[in-house]
Every structure is written in C-alpha cells, then in structure tokens.
Amino acid sequence: MTNLSRLGPYLLRYSWHLIPAEIKNTYWERGKHFKVGAYDEPGYILSTRMRSGSIWIRSLLYDYEILLQGKSLSPHLSEWLAHYSPQLEVKNSVRELELGKHRFSKQIIKTHMHFDKLQPIAGNKKILVLFRRPEDTFVEQYQKQIHEGFKPDTNAWTEKEWVQRKREIEALGIDRYAKRRAGRWRKFYQSFLEAYDAGQQIAFTSYESMNKTPQESFSRIVSYFDYPVVESHIEAAIANRSFDKVKSAVKSEWDDAMTGRGQTGVGQTLLSPQALDKIRSKTEPTLLRLKDLEDSNWAQLSIGPSSADTG
C-alpha cells in the first residue's frame, strides 16, 4: 500500500485515482511472478543491466516530458520518476504505472529482465536496450551495493540480512565480484540480439555515446520514443541532468548511491589487469555487435528539430 507518510502528496497529486490504482496494484502483486496483464497495452521499454545509465536516461526523458507540459525543471531526483518510468520487477510497479497514466503523455517501462522474460508483453512495444562497457558496470554495481544508502525495493530482505549481504560483497572483493558477472552480462544482451534478429523492434544505445555526444544521442532516443524533437528542450534537459549538478543536489544517501560516478573507463582504473582481461575475453564479441547495431540503427533515423521548437 501507499507509504502513509506520503499520503498527503499522493492525494494532492492524484486525488481519487489513487483508489483504483491501489486496488489494481494489490491484485497484481498477490504472489504473481510476472504482472503480464497489467502491461498489455502498446508502449515503450528501456531494458538494461544495472549501472548502465538508466536513471540518467529516465531522468532526461522525465524532464523532457515536463518541459513539453510547460513546467519548470528541478535537478533533484524526482519522487515521481517511477510513475513516469515504472520498473517492471519492483514492488508496487502496477500502482506507479496506473498513477502515471494520469500525469504523463507517455510512460517508459524500465526493466533488468532478459528478453525471454519480457516476451509475453514485448510484441506491441518499442524496446530501447542501453549498454555500457561491462567492466564499468561491474565496478559501479559493486560500489552501489556496498554503499550505505543502498537497499533494494523489496520486502524479501530484512535490514540485518542486507547488512550481511554488503559484508559478503566487500569480502568477495571487486575483482572476483566483477569476473562473476561477465557471463550474466553476455547472456542478458545476447537475448536482445537474438530478439532483434528475429524481428522484434529494438534499438541499441550506449552509455559512452551519451557521454560523448549527449545532444545527438538524446535526440535519437526522444525520436525513437515518438516524442517531437524540440532542440531547446533537449538542451535544457541535458543541462539540468549534468552529473555535477545532479550530484550536488542529492538529498539523501539513497540519492547518492543511485547517481554513481558519472564516468567512463572506471573499470580499467579499478580492476586488476588479469580481471580486466578475463572480463573482456568473455564479453568483447557481444559488445562489438551491440556497437555495430547502435551505429546502424541510428543511421536509419533522420532527426530534425520539431516545428514546435522556437529556441
């Protein structure tokens, strides 16, 4: 159910819509592993491994939607981000999905699931697959999971169990932690490459491209998700989500844990050469295919400013 400490803001924002949203959420969360029926409508999915930049992309898209609504931006991590972009596998995502329908023109479903698990709802949706150099994601995952502010949104773990989990990760060490994830990373992205080859509507984009050419890369994402491309809004959203600005605006340890380092190449500086070589030997062929498809996907998109752009 809705956190009672936030009931006032919820009611102010959503009024009576909160009641049917809670009823649907209660129904779909009753021991159901996958909430297929709640996600049957056409739409959009952002799928990625953890620590590959999904919060950044979702926040940029959230800001873009807000600007299209004629509202002003805030550098803080929005408390309503999950209503614009619900995470499929997270507790209460159905409530967030239902409430967001009343506030936003689009919703971008975020998930860390393999395509195999998404297939029941994927047929009528555009999927954007976000990837990042695997060694960087593993280092960022390690640091996030030992961060004091991080605890996953689940009732499955007690506070004591989560503290123990952090200690186990720290004892494992960054090299072993990273090496153990190479196979999972490869399997995850291979599932989307196979779906792409089978005809599923999928585009691929990289964290590195967003860092190197943010305006061009974000314009492509905006267009792919069927928004009008307004260059002044692109520029404003990117400026609002600059790493230094967002990091200085954090309100809690949770916000700090979620924003990461905002860098590329961190794996190369923090992992041993032996660990780095092993990770790359397992992941490089998949990474090269993802990069090739990123280039070919976006080459087919012609992006121009919308007639609504007066900036």
Buried b (16+ CB within 10 A) or exposed e, 95-122: bbbbbbeebbebbbbbbbbbbebbeebb
10-residue mean pLDDT series, the chain (311 residues): 60 84 84 76 95 91 98 89 92 91 95 94 95 94 75 65 83 94 96 97 95 95 97 96 74 55 79 96 97 86 47 40
Residue 251: per-residue pLDDT: 55
CA distance 66 to 70: 7
Beta strands in 183-258 (DSSP E): 202-206
C-alpha to C-alpha distance for 215 and 159, rounded to whole angstroms:
41
Could you give the CA distance from residue 306 to residue 310 in angstroms, rounded to a whole number?
A: 9
Dihedral, 218, 220, 221, 222 alpha carbons, nearest 10: 90
- Amino acid (one-letter) located at 227: Y
User: Which DSSP state fits 39?
Assistant: G
The amino acid sitting at 276 is: L
Neighbours of 56 (CB within 10 A): 21
pTM for the model stands at 0.86
Residue 110: predicted pLDDT? 96
Superfamily name and number for 4-134+182-260+282-299: P-loop containing nucleotide triphosphate hydrolases (3.40.50.300)
Report the alpha-carbon distance of residue 124 to residue 183 in Å, rounded: 29
Note the pLDDT of residue 301.
Answer: 60
* Every domain of the chain and the residues it spans: 4-134+182-260+282-299
Q: How far apart are CA 9 and CA 107, in angstroms?
A: 21
Q: CA-CA distance, 141 to 270, in Å (whole number)?
A: 13
Residue 149 pLDDT = 62
The torsion of the CA quartet 79, 43, 204, 139, rounded to 10 degrees, works out to 30
What CA–CA distance (Å, rounded) separates 78 from 74?
8
Task: Identify the pLDDT of residue 145.
Answer: 77
Q: Give the pLDDT of residue 57.
A: 95
Residues 6+ apart with CB under 8 A from 180: none
